[in-house]
Amino acid sequence: MPYLNTNNTHTLFATTNFSLGYQFRAGKIGSLRIEPYLNLPLKGIGKSQERIISRGVYLGWIYDYPKRKLKH
């Protein structure tokens, strides 16, 4: 049986994200960033007002471009 949801709600600022990261050099070519995060609900999400909590780890690579001297 198909279901049509006619009660659409848009909730701005329904969750908040907490994270704390660490960045360290990986030679001359760049840096690696590791950032664990926790996403907490401020309000219920969806029709049943679920309070969804998510967690994980962001990984990032920061590439250092070689510095070039400007020609005058």
Segment holding 56, helix H or strand E: strand 54-63
- Asked whether residue 59 is assigned to any structural domain, the reply reads yes
- Asked whether residue 37 is assigned to any structural domain, the reply reads yes
pTM to 2 decimal places: 0.59
- Asked whether residue 5 is assigned to any structural domain, the reply reads no
Q: What does the pLDDT read at residue 33? A: 93
- Asked whether residue 27 is assigned to any structural domain, the reply reads yes
pLDDT tens digits, one per residue of 39-70: 888 776 666 666 678 899 999 998 877 777 77
CA distances from 34 to 2, 24, 40, 64, 65 (A): 44, 9, 20, 17, 20
User: What is the residue-averaged pLDDT of the chain?
Assistant: 80
Total structural domains within the chain: 1
Q: Which domain holds residue 21?
A: 15-63
- Asked whether residue 68 is assigned to any structural domain, the reply reads no
**What is the mean pLDDT of the segment spanning 6-15?**
66
